[in-house]
Structure 1
């Protein structure tokens, strides 16, 4: 109502921006329609619950217990998170870059960063080489795709501008965290610090040095407006990456993640942004139509995957991630083979293959690549959580990320001698990139 709007305006004290990019206009329209027909008392109760739920881990035990009972129903959780994990999580949320630099100093070497940079360059080169075999795209658009791939900014490990004590002290200068304040007061200070930092960005140029993830994060992302791929130090660890691993294992694990994020720049969302990160169409209509035909194959394939109790993967919800998985695997395998081809033996000859793992003489390095890819998606998910993910997660369940991607790979079928027409080497395969 008008009272709530007035309160929000008085708290914000900012002039609204002239333009706002609504990333999900259809959702906002449906939300508006829902709010129009929902009693105000229900909306207030929902907002109160959301606030209490989000702060429950910082509140007395009766609130924590009530929220955990809710989580048991939704996620199938059996035990509460130990207090030390809650404390680490709170520190990570409030002082993520300071904590992150401690993590980097302990776990992430310059050699790892240099190797990751080399891998990314190999994968970009593989993507650009693959463009020649993409039949649904014309030459002019392929050239623009190559320009976009060349322009992609890659950030590895940690932000250089937040890597020293002086830089971190300056960054957190306006965050009053003190030992004399209560835990909740410090949490509120941290939240206010983050909100003010976001409000300060209004009507300003994008800061391309900024990171949306802190260094310990076990994840990666592609950011369309910046045309950048980001790999925090947290994911550049085992089982995705380790300096002592064979390159086959590192390309199969971390390399596929790198190819995955690169391919996001050319999936159903990323393809709408040009090389400078502007939301400008750069594909002709006929190319877009052919792209949709190719992606329908992926959507239909994954929609056929059944979980339990009639639940199926939503091939449309997971489309962008599935496109990225398939493209990332292809690019990373080709990048690995490129690395092998330029590796020299003692006589200076290129094409030196890596050794087999001890005790596994029949597992070739190429097969190890695919095994490493599959291994990182091993998991054991409770039925309640798996059902929730099917409804809301843009990623397919781990086992289908493996089965779907490998069954579309000619390289996998060749290396494992899969008979044509079998489940893992079907006659009709889906390929976008």
Structure 2
């Protein structure tokens, strides 16, 4: 198949990093900049701020002074930033007035009606509901119980193979490896080719020039290969009896088996990114968070029963998807501001998870919070992350197995983050394990 979504639409992040101002060199400098510049000029949608991890002071000022904030971005056009927890929940729950439809621009700040990928998360009911329902059995509790021993066996093997006493990249050896194995199983994709899933996940959300792809044409080339591969898998699964994998579920589902090719391709992107990027970046983020908060790491070692709570706190602290976007389909008043029909509305989950008016000591990492699941990382309402329990399961397993084996996983250098206002992720994290238990 030569006519794919990639050739029809092009990359959703087709902008130039050189168009954005450089980020401040430190968090202190960012705080000064955030409070010195005119409030109306604050534009948090700069991927350089996320790459340098200095975006938090800008969100802090918006939450305090203008939580429903409109700005004209030179790159993304005019958009509203929703930065407080309760306002984010209100927008996320209100799919009647705030649409996810790809034809209106979809779920990311960068996408337009011409580049937004059609996938069930970028659809409104009733179409959203029937497509989401088709794949829900794979993340239902019975299937997760079946998957748990396999994930644990793989996590144990990965950890047992790690080098001791030397520096290595945690992202490459642990985070990517475990999540790629799990995603390949969910898709019944060849395990020996699982790193293709990782690569396509990276490319799908990449900014040209950001270190993953060099130019927009490369996005088209690599995503075309992805779509052609999955188109062949679709035909293979459709010709067989129904199986317990995502492709078979879509190919045999009563409401999905006749979906247009471009919708199937969009859903493949959703499943690859959702099943890969988010979990792997939180696995990496957990190591970083515990190293930056050694008292919490010590508490976890002393009380391994806190792993479940620690996982939820890490998902809040990391916030693997920094935002979701909606488009207003009618005039709406929110927080005293009038949002007009057609306006782009961005829910900054990363900011909502640091809202000190809702979450006590929101900037702190506390593994035994009273309400560790109080976060917006998975979204709310009909679009709440369908694989949230699988993500938690993988994180819990990997940390249960780490605590059995190693007294500490030491971060020995700064992480390399990705250039993205959407995926809050890592390209590398240098670590060292001094010894085994």
Same fold (TM over 0.5): no
Scaled by the length of structure 1, the TM-score of the pair is: 0.27
Scaled by the length of structure 2, the TM-score of the pair is: 0.27
- Higher CA-based Rg: 1
Which structure: greater strand fraction? 2
Greater relative contact order structure (CA < 8 Å, 6+ sep): 2
